[in-house]
Amino acid sequence: MRIRKVGVVGSGVMGGAIAALTASAGVPVVLLDIPAGADEKDRNAPVKRGLDRAMKARPAAFMDARRAALIELGNIEDDLGKLAECDWIVEAIVERLEPKQALYAKLDDLRGPETIITSNTSGIPMAQLTAGRSEGFRRHFFGTHFFNPPRYLHLLELIPTPETDPEAIAAVEWFGQRILGKGTVHAKDVPAFIGNRIGGYAMREAIRLMEELDLTIDEVDTLTGPLVGRPRSATFRTADLAGLDVMLLVSQDMARTHGSSHALPSWIEALVARGDLGEKTGAGCYKREGRGEILTLNWKTLEYGPRQEVRSPELDALRRLPLEQRLKGVTELPGAYGAFARKLATHVAHFTLSNAEEIAYDIPSIDRAMEWGWAWELGPFRQMDALGLDTLRAAFHAEGLAEPALLSQAGERFYTKDAAGTQVLGLDGVYRALAPRAGVLSLADVREAGGMVQESRSASLLDLGDGVLLLEFHTKMNAIDDDIVAALESATDIATRGGWAGLVIGNEDPQAFSAGANIALMLEAARSGNLAAIDAASRRFQQANLGLRYAPFPVVAAVAGLALGGGAEVALHADQVVAAGEAYIGLVEVGVGLIPAGGGCKELLFRFTQELQPYIEADPFEAARRAFMLIGLGTTSSSAIDARTLGFLRPADRITMNRDYLLADAKAAVLSLARDYIAPIPPTITALGRDALGNLRAAVWTMREAGQISEHDALIGNELAYVLAAGDGPPRTVREKDLLDLEREAFTRLAATEKTQQRLEHMLATGKPLRN
């Protein structure tokens, strides 16, 4: 079974977002919704509103808004037949059994013999959904539960029925993993499946404990967010994103089947009744006001007020610790905060242990569901290991909770390591080897297998096997310092002398390939007037990047998350970039009063000029203008697809939608290039000199006169223009070295200015740019 076209029925928040993700991946989509009522002339008005909502969604639902052209719109009365062309149809309509069953009856009549039909239900059992359907329908039907927002939350729960054809599951699983970039978990067909069963309980218990201990929404979100390895959305912002109406429906279903402890409090019912459903209505537990101001709900009065920042010396101290220590430390806080954290951790652990066998096939599936679907840094069993199983046993006893059988079967940990590798407790009480995930290259496994070649303060060089090395940065946000530059030099030297097949530059950091240079070191040198050190550091970084470009072996950059400033410059000098779908690439140095000086200006000008060379009638100034706009505005791609449009990625660079496969794909790219690799010949281009300089400086002057930029912005813009024009002389042939010298000299001049130093200080202090 091969999926080439996807149908989505329902253009609400989830349906529209699923369609946006699928179209972003380059797959044609048919998106249908109910027809408009008699008061609207356009029968497709509802689905058009749904697509418009997806187009305007923040965070963006599309990786590239132009991919919306791949979505064909219609309604289920006039256009249902269009779904017959689809290989996979996803139902994402209202979360009620009867409308879903009515739709399936119609789909049963038009589906092809191999058409796969799935439901995005949040928890309605599959057995109820397929009642009365044909055998062929039932064999090609199962649950595919996406998490909101689908583009950003990794989890896709697959919920087969006893009748589901394994080939249908395999087809969607492969498509979900490789094309949509999802992490898939098989869940049992029970209400709320895995993620929402545990995550929903954790949210409801946090709400109950908030009421019991008389805490506020702001306090609970502080105690259930990044402090304990959960997302910034914590409890109540997550509720708003999911939709309070959806949460209420799921909780009501759970309360009917599993008891009143799963019910939500009356004040949430009141919010839903008055139409405050969360993000989709602009108000829920939080409310957006005017110019982006966020107000917090007082759950006692149902009125909104200013958000309150929750700080204490104990909380501030905890935030600086590693996650495993934070998980323990938060339960030891004094007063209501500690009581809340202890009770919540204890009750969630007990609930997970008691429900594990009912909802999942193994412990890793539960951990992955919570890590991928609810963005917990550690799944519940890994959290229990971090807290200590004996500590949990004592906490259960203190709370009057019986010890679950699964905990009784465990030793000191659920996950253990020995010479043979990692073992995990099975739900049958037997420890087994943790099965490796196919296509996923784990650097932890490489290290455990003795793959460390060289290690320094800021970087590690690893042997990936098959003659491929990997250079990993491991500073904060993988910021580039002198030790990383030395590691780039050393990796190039080791690979050359050792005859290695090639080099991957990458990591497993969920946030950044590299967020740029360590500006604290740069500011220190600038404040002390040591401009020679700044020039020398820039020169060394430039030469390290050129070393990558002209090495006698292929270099592949595996880029995921932020690749900013110097991080982008490293990637730009690789023979090939393999980028995760969520790759945010940009030369952003203007934000701290500088311009790129690791080869970024040179690389974009050369790249864009070479792209124009086949076209005799092309205006050569376009290359300089394009580079000037990207660098001068500090443009950062919103995705890997956008990075290709902007020019940070070339047509030959590859996009891997699933970050889990990134390193393995980068290694494969090295081996593919290595078969007949020849290092590139240093190029030359014609720089336009004063002709380009005049045009670019005129643009700077216009923006300054219009009050769009400051005087210092204008100085930066003029320096950048001088570099991209290669001076103010006549057009001339330039080498890479000529541009590198110019960008380095401009960088050093700017670093010497007081206003650039102020920008550097402000960025270090606040994490935000200063426009002085």
- Residues with a catalytic annotation lie at 569, 589
- d(CA 514, CA 494) in angstroms, rounded, equals 22
Beta bridge partners of 186: 158
Q: Residue 59, preceding bond cis, omega within 30 degrees?
A: yes
| Alpha carbon 141 to chain centroid, angstroms | 29
- d(CA 589, CA 566) in angstroms, rounded, equals 9
* Amino acid symbol at 134: S
- d(CA 484, CA 480) in angstroms, rounded, equals 6
- d(CA 41, CA 44) in angstroms, rounded, equals 9
- d(CA 238, CA 244) in angstroms, rounded, equals 10
Torsion angles phi and psi, residue 149, rounded to 5: -85, 135
Answer yes or no: are the C-beta atoms of 388 and 346 closer than 8 Å: no
- d(CA 207, CA 340) in angstroms, rounded, equals 10
- Residue 248: closest CA among 212, 213, 276, 210: 276
Which tokens in the block code for residue 182?
């999802």
Pairing mode of beta strands 183-186, 286-289 = unpaired
Which tokens in the block code for residue 346?
């204890």
Question: Helical H runs in 150-273?
Answer: 166-174, 195-213, 217-223, 236-242, 244-258, 266-273
- d(CA 475, CA 481) in angstroms, rounded, equals 8
- d(CA 53, CA 62) in angstroms, rounded, equals 11
Torsion angles phi and psi, residue 126, rounded to 5: -60, -35
In the block, tokens 């701290």 appear at 592
| Alpha carbon 145 to chain centroid, angstroms | 19
Which tokens in the block code for residue 219?
């306090």
Answer yes or no: are the C-beta atoms of 92 and 50 closer than 8 Å: no
